[in-house]
Amino acid sequence: MSQLWELFVLIGKIIWSKTSASFFAIDAFFTSISAYFFVQALYAIVVGLVVLKLIHKVTSYYYDYNYIHRSLKSSIGSQRDLAVFLQPLLRKQRSGGLMNNLLEVRKYLMHLRPAELQLLGTYFKGSIAAVKYRKLLVYAGAVLLGLLTSMALGIVSVQNITFTQTSAIKTVVLILIWLMLVSITMQKKLSQLIQLHGMVETCLQEKKDDPFEPNQKPLQEIVYETST
């Protein structure tokens, strides 16, 4: 029995030594590469994206809570109203292909009346203009995020903001990375609004051209031929 116990202890020591050796090797690897600027920048940007995502989640929860309890003030430009309206259209599900996805959106929009589609198209047009108008503000925010990331990494001193050639290049790289990420996000949002606006205009035109649509005048008088 004692020999069996010693065998278990020996196996445990072997496993622990192999595991600890692997762990120390991985730790040494990450310690060595963490000294490189691009690794530090990647880590800082990932942390920044996580923080921004958490802030977005918290604000979304706040607006959802107020929206449910009807304490949110009515506003034509309310993003929460738009998000609730678009939830059936933009819900995450398995894609059925481009045409099937477009037909699904069309099916949802065709349930609306022409006047509602016209108002929705105007709303989307205003949202597109608002996104384009806010580009400079968002880009300024990206520049600020780049500077804050540079300060967090210790490239630029918080107390004495002075730039050397190396620190200036690193800071510019961080700013460009943030500008690229912000630009991708804005282009995705803008493309989504443009596509939805085009779908609304298409559905509105179909309803206007449909002579059997309620509250719509037929394009031409329908003549039924009778056999004699």
The per-residue pLDDT for 162 is 73
Query: What CA–CA distance (Å, rounded) separates 126 from 198?
Result: 13
Query: What CA–CA distance (Å, rounded) separates 50 from 53?
Result: 5
- Cβ proximity of 149 and 48 under 8 Å: yes
Query: What CA–CA distance (Å, rounded) separates 205 from 79?
Result: 26
The per-residue pLDDT for 218 is 45
Query: What CA–CA distance (Å, rounded) separates 65 from 78?
Result: 14
The per-residue pLDDT for 179 is 92
Q: Which tokens belong to 55? A: 């802030």
DSSP string, 70-122: T-SPP-TT-HHHHHHHHHHHH-------HHHHHHHHHHHHTTS-HHHHHHHHH
- Which value, in Å, is the radius of gyration of the alpha carbons in the chain? 29
DSSP string, 149-214: HHHHTTSS-SSS----HHHHHHHHHHHHHHHHHHHHHHHHHHHHHHHHHHHHHHHHHHHHH-TTST
Sequence ranges of the domains in the chain: 77-209
By CB atoms closer than 10 A (0-12, 13-18, 19+), residue 131 is middle
The per-residue pLDDT for 222 is 44
> Mean pLDDT in each 10-residue stretch from start to end of the chain (228 residues)?
64 70 65 76 88 86 68 58 68 68 79 83 85 88 89 79 80 90 89 87 80 53 46
